[in-house]
Amino acid sequence: MEIQVQSLDRNLALELVRVTESAAIAASRWMGRGDKNGADGAAVEAMRAALRTIAMDGVVIIGEGEKDEAPMLFNGEHIGDGSAPRVDIAVDPIEGTTPTSLGRENALSVIALSEEGTMFDPGPCVYMEKIAVGPEAKGRISLDLTATENIREVAKAKGIPIREVTVLILDRPRHQNLIEEIRIAGARIHLISDGDVAASISAAWENSGADILIGIGGTPEGVVSAAALKSMGGEIQGRLWPRNEFEKQQAIDAGYVINKILTTDDLVRSENCFFAATGITNGELLRGVRFTPGGAITQSIVMRSKSGTVRQIESHHKLAKLREYAAIPDL
């Protein structure tokens, strides 16, 4: 087992950023063109090409969907060159296809990786209740508490008044009652149009201006976020939120406990997991892809839970050379 862990460190720690860089550059060509499928297809193709070059035997736990609906990077697909180590992988070539297609902020390309058998499979449940915080408030929050109670705990943990706590919430009709509760509590609210993963990281990112994420968002995004928050020393909790009775029964039949609070360690059980993200469009965490004559500049973050290391990387790419081994179209 020790040999496999060393291989995981040596071969994959910084390899993942090449994958997200390639996907981000490909997707950025479609920024603002109003074509979500075109952007997503370009990003998936570029990510797949980069993943083929990595020495690993990976299984996609969270991908683009089932095989019949997603011909590339589908759930259960084996990727990598087939050699050790054996790992679980979660991919989102574009986290924020709508912002990318409309030229809006906070679109990322993301990937998370952990040791084999350690990543939570969402099954039929697309959504979950979730709450995420940084290291200061770790252990102080719970989905069994009200939003007001959680905000008070965060304020105490950070030593600030409630009126200075900033809460991130997806701007969705389902959150109207939650928004009203938080307004009554007296906290600040930052509504986000898209981007569960970026928002979860922001809640734990020093000097981001955000303190806590609350609300219902994507279950796959919750798993990806767990890999990042584990590396940052933060915390995320989730609870499956079936959209209807049929989905609820599917989950129960598959053995899921609907009311169980899923901790960070439930979502990613490994203490040796990795996360990488590259900005597609400009955002609060990362700058988007910038093109130069014959090249491109990307900004990324790479995290490793075992060491707690968080790296910010700015890369300068020669597109002609990048096309030799990555699926980056000249559009």
> Binding site for Mn(2+): which residues?
40, 64, 92, 95, 221
Which residues line the annotated binding site? 40, 64, 92, 95-97, 127, 172-174, 194-196, 218, 221
Rounded Cα gap, residues 62 and 92, in angstroms: 8
Cα 255 to Cα 252: distance, rounded to the nearest angstrom:
5
Is-contact 30 39, C-beta < 8 A?
A: yes
Task: Give residues with Cβ within 8 angstroms of 310, minimum separation 6.
Answer: 231, 232, 301, 302, 303
Binding residues for substrate: 95-97, 127, 172-174, 194-196, 218
Nearest to 321 by CA among 13, 25, 17: 25
With residue 128 as reference, give the H or E element that holds it.
strand 127-133
Pairing of strands 295-304, 290-292: antiparallel
CA gap 309, 313 in Å, rounded: 13
CB atoms within 10 A of CB 101: 22
